[in-house]
Chains A and B, each alone.
Chain A
């Protein structure tokens, strides 16, 4: 009985030890599998990855898809979004506010400027390994470029037509710095959020703007008056000439008519034979016409007047 029990016990012990060993081996294998499987990673479509093996970067970047790397601590993966547009604002502050920072222009004026810089990763490895604070590098590079550029710019250019020139130069300088520092990013755009004179003198700046408008208005008024006056003058000139032409025609017609009339009368006068008689008739007819309307005094030849 007892023997059999012992056998049974020893069997149980033996089989227990076997199970334990099997369990141990299994769990070790499972652990190993889990450990090895932890090297599987997914790079999403918008991402790229840089892989590190034993501290050293593996050449090239990993494109989207499912990949495998040696698990930690041998290998490590850094994923990033190379086409993601990142923004930096100058001055550093809440992104919705446009309050600018003070800069000094070339003609020693103070202006308030707020700038937005957009950038993206163009060299993933440099971006991952070169710096811990790429945002900060972009910011200081942009700020230095802005200071340098504004220090060469006239305040009027900065406030009006020269904005684009300033931005182009800022972008160029900033990009050159970031490239020479090998930060692995490129500037997409630089834009002013606001450019304004200080509040202390903004009314004076506004008055200059309204003076410009006044200038245009005064000139336009003068041009309008000129237009009107010249039209009037041309009309008047036309009228004068037309009147003269009418007069010329009138004179010519009258002369032609009177000359013709004279010729007719003369022809009759010559034909009539009794020239004296005609003259007398004409004279008497004229007197008939004239004398009734005229106050007359008749003087008899030796003296004495009668009405």
Chain B
């Protein structure tokens, strides 16, 4: 009974030891290579529980299969039209072929060193084949930054997979800038553009204001002249009506009208500033000098004359 217990305990311990020595797990986040005295014998790319011979007969090498970001220092590149650009790129990559990676690269730092050279050269080749307007432009059909970066990614991917066992997932540009020494001239150009724009806006304002003022004057004249026209028509109408009324009345006895109207006119014309030279021969004064009751018949004698004095 006692012995059985001891044996059971021993067996359990032995089993645990065997587990420890013979079993190992591969995580979701890694690939593994089982090596025998340095020589790879088995590659494991699926996570799970696996067995091996105890060390030193077999050892397990693990490789992180997660997505890595490689963010090198910005590099200066020339475009086809000899413009200098400071390009800050990044590369997303992961280990895809652990055997090749083990063979060629071994470490993550080694992989980054290889990528740095590869990406920089592909980037400079591809940017050097395009003009600046392919990177930076307001013309939608000129900008090819995305296709340029697809090409760079594609080329890096081919090389890296064969050479380093790395999958380049994406190479892209984080930031494009101009070299410090070029910025002053850019600022000057920006300032000139802004000044021109400000002038343009103000001139536009003046232009519209002038148009509005001219339009105002035009409308003003239209309104006033239309009113004048209407007024003249109305006045003419009034005058015509008056003439009609007058002539209708006066036609009944024109001679009498002329007589009456002349008398009225005299009253207005002959004022205190008038000097009147009257002949005693006139009908009106005849009586004054030579009264004859028979001759006093027509007071409207033609001898009476008037003249204006100063």
Binding site for B on A (CB under 8 A): 52, 54-57, 73, 101-110, 129-133, 136-137, 140, 143-144, 147-148, 151-155, 177, 180-181, 183, 197-198, 200-201, 204-205, 207-208, 210-212, 214-219, 221-223, 225-226, 229-230, 232-234, 236-238, 240-241, 243-245, 247-252, 254-256, 258-260, 262-263, 265-266, 269-270, 276, 279-280, 282-284, 286-287, 289-291, 293-301
Main SS at interface, chain A: helix
With A57-B28, A105-B136, A110-B183 as known contacts, state yes or no: A215 contacts B299, CB within 8 Å: no
Question: Contacts of B69 on A, CB cut-off 8 Å?
Answer: 133, 136-137, 140
Question: Contacts of A296 on B, CB cut-off 8 Å?
Answer: 275-278
Closest chain A CB from B284 CB (angstroms): 6
Query: B residues 186-217 with Cβ under 8 Å of A?
Result: 186-187, 189-191, 193-195, 197-202, 204-206, 208-210, 212-213, 215-217
Contact B241 A226 (CB under 8 A): no
Main SS at interface, chain B: helix
Closest 10 CB pairs of A and B: A248-B238, A237-B227, A215-B205, A244-B231, A259-B249, A55-B25, A106-B138, A255-B242, A204-B194, A211-B198
Closest chain A CB from B29 CB (angstroms): 5
Question: Contacts of A73 on B, CB cut-off 8 Å?
Answer: 25
Question: Contacts of A262 on B, CB cut-off 8 Å?
Answer: 249-250, 257, 260
Closest chain B CB from A92 CB (angstroms): 11
Partner of B198, one of A147, A207, A265: A207
Contact A215 B212 (CB under 8 A): no
Contact B249 A215 (CB under 8 A): no
Closest chain A CB from B194 CB (angstroms): 4
Task: Determine the distance from Cα of A240 to Cα of B263 in the docked complex, in whole angstroms.
Answer: 35
With A198-B187, A238-B227 as known contacts, state yes or no: A298 contacts B278, CB within 8 Å: yes
Closest chain A CB from B60 CB (angstroms): 12
Task: Determine the distance from Cα of A130 to Cα of B29 in the docked complex, in whole angstroms.
Answer: 7
Closest chain A CB from B16 CB (angstroms): 12
Task: Determine the distance from Cα of A238 to Cα of B48 in the docked complex, in whole angstroms.
Answer: 100
Contact A108 B280 (CB under 8 A): no
Contact B178 A245 (CB under 8 A): no
Query: B residues 260-310 with Cβ under 8 Å of A?
Result: 260, 263, 266-267, 270-272, 274-281, 284-285, 289, 296-300, 309
Contact A222 B175 (CB under 8 A): no
Question: Contacts of B143 on A, CB cut-off 8 Å?
Answer: 106, 151-152
Query: B residues 58-112 with Cβ under 8 Å of A?
Result: 66-69, 71, 90, 92
Contact A294 B67 (CB under 8 A): no
Question: Contacts of B57 on A, CB cut-off 8 Å?
Answer: none
- Given A129-B28, A249-B238; 12 other pairs, CB 8 A cutoff: A103-B175, A106-B137, A131-B68, A144-B172, A144-B174, A152-B137, A201-B187, A205-B194, A211-B201, A221-B209, A233-B219, A233-B224
Contact A259 B245 (CB under 8 A): yes
Partner of B136, one of A108, A247, A260, A270: A108
With A211-B198, A255-B242, A294-B271 as known contacts, state yes or no: A204 contacts B190, CB within 8 Å: yes
Question: Contacts of A249 on B, CB cut-off 8 Å?
Answer: 238
Partner of B176, one of A104, A109, A247, A287: A104
Encoded as 1 (CB less than 8 Å from any A CB) or 0, chain B from 213 to 229 comes to 10111011001101110
Task: Determine the distance from Cα of A269 to Cα of B260 in the docked complex, in whole angstroms.
Answer: 11
Q: Can you name 13 A-B residue pairings with CB atoms under 8 Å?
A: A104-B176, A129-B66, A148-B173, A152-B138, A204-B190, A219-B209, A225-B212, A244-B238, A250-B238, A266-B252, A284-B284, A290-B270, A301-B289
With A104-B177, A279-B299 as known contacts, state yes or no: A298 contacts B285, CB within 8 Å: yes
